Amino acid sequence: MFKVSKKLNTLPPYLFLEIDKAKRKARQEGRDIIDLGIGDPDQPTPSHIIEALYKAAQDPATHRYALDQGMLVLRQAIADWYKNRFNVALNPDTEILPLIGSKEGIAHFPLAFLNEGDYSLVPDPCYPPYKGGTILAGGRPYLMALRESNGFLPDLDKIPRTILKKAKLLFINYPNNPTAAVVEKDFYKKVVNFAKKHKLIVISDLAYSEMSYEGFRPPSFLEVEGAKDVAVEFHSLSKTYNMTGWRLGWACGNSDLVNALAKVKSNIDSGIFSAVQLAGVAALTGPQEHIKNMCKLYQERRDVLISGLNSLGWQVSKPKATFYVWIKVPDKKYNSLKFAALLLEKLDIVVTPGVGFGRYGEGYLRMALTVSTERIKEAIGRLKKL
Ligand SMILES: *Cc1c(COP(=O)(O)O)cnc(C)c1O
């Protein structure tokens, strides 16, 4: 038979396979599944963005290959948005690169900088492409444990010197998926100093900057002095504008880093459908009220879920951002996979086992606030029977 590459064999196993299978089977049997497993907004894309797509798609100029570096009008809209939101100035010609969703850029970025055997410093638990992209580029992930006792921040001082010598990339992601942890700028200042001292490239994933509660405004890594010397930041329209299926995001920051990623991509893809880029311009420059409504909706769901879980004696704290709730497995007899399987088998509730995000996610479950308040109440009712 075919022998896959060593790299492919080294990728972490896909641990959700069993749960996915069981979920499909349960659906086929007509069971009423409450799916708290998916980090994908359930609300539609705002209509003015859809209209911009219709209109743009009718212009034959959008039907041809798009330029690799993205349309200037989109890069300018991104620059204006960053200036307005974070007071960070970006040059649209050299410091911004639109992407086919930010996952694509995150996964390809290590190809630009890692040589065989180089290390990436990767938080664990984490969004899977940090590890996957590193391994596919021939690098090795060094796992920085995110522990509750440290506010789910990596302990940079614990990284061994021998690893630091061979490390080139440092991934950070706040507001965090899956732990929902947030940071203030003082953490970013520490990271800038650390990166300069050890000659690291910082990759900041800011996908959840607009999804926050009670007035908390997540900062950008690029707000910190000196950050642009060492960092590229990834951003996405997916969560902010309910556009996960559209595939539109961007990389921004240090021009050498942005350029290197553009060079990798010029060998792999041929740009983003121009009509989608123009819809992205409509998203970034059009009315923004829906973001407030979105946060209000997730906040309501969050409060119903947390107070419901607390009433069952589960100890869960309220996330300040993201649409995730990171929960300790309430019964020590179970690991996260077993407990998730139990919830599906007995209660028709899907949650994501923490170990799926890495070994330090073991002992936790992730619930996503992507179902209605009624369904969350129904889920709490079912959990009472456990
Ligand atoms: C959802 C998400 C993204 C966004 O990915 P896209 O490819 O832009 O849809 C990026 N990072 C994290 C941590 C996410 O959870």
Supply the pLDDT for residue 85: 98
Supply the pLDDT for residue 97: 98
**Of the residues 285, 318, 339, the one at which a domain ends:** 285
Supply the pLDDT for residue 190: 98
DSSP string, 141-195: EEEEE--GGGTT---GGGS-HHHHHHEEEEEE-SS-TTT-----HHHHHHHHHHH
- Smallest Cα–Cα separation from 120: which of 197, 200, 193? 200
* Residues of the domain holding 376: 6-44+289-383
Count the domains in the chain. Answer: 2
Check if the beta carbon of residue 227 is closer than 8 Å to that of residue 195: no
Are 315 and 274 found together in one domain? no
Which residue stretches of the chain have pLDDT < 70?
none
Owner of token pair 């996915």: 20
Tell whether 295 is covered by a domain. yes
Supply the pLDDT for residue 75: 98
State pTM to two decimals. 0.97
The response to whether residue 188 sits with its C-beta less than 6 Å from ligand 1 reads no
Best residue among 40, 42, 45, 102 to mutate for probing ligand 1's pocket (most ligand atoms within 8 Å of CB) is: 102
Are 34 and 171 found together in one domain? no
Question: Which two tokens mark 18?
Answer: 């069993």
- Smallest Cα–Cα separation from 105: which of 56, 55, 81, 70? 70
Kindly give the number of the ligand 1 atom that is closest to the alpha carbon of 104.
7
The response to whether residue 322 sits with its C-beta less than 6 Å from ligand 1 reads no
- The long-range contacts involving 255-258, CB below 8 angstroms and separated by at least 24 positions, are 255/91, 255/94, 255/95, 257/112, 257/201, 257/231, 257/232, 258/94, 258/95, 258/96, 258/97, 258/232
pLDDT digits (tens, 9 = 90+) for 117-175: 999 999 999 999 999 999 999 999 999 999 999 999 999 999 999 999 999 999 999 99
Residue 98: CATH number of its domain: 3.40.640.10
Tell whether 1 is covered by a domain. no
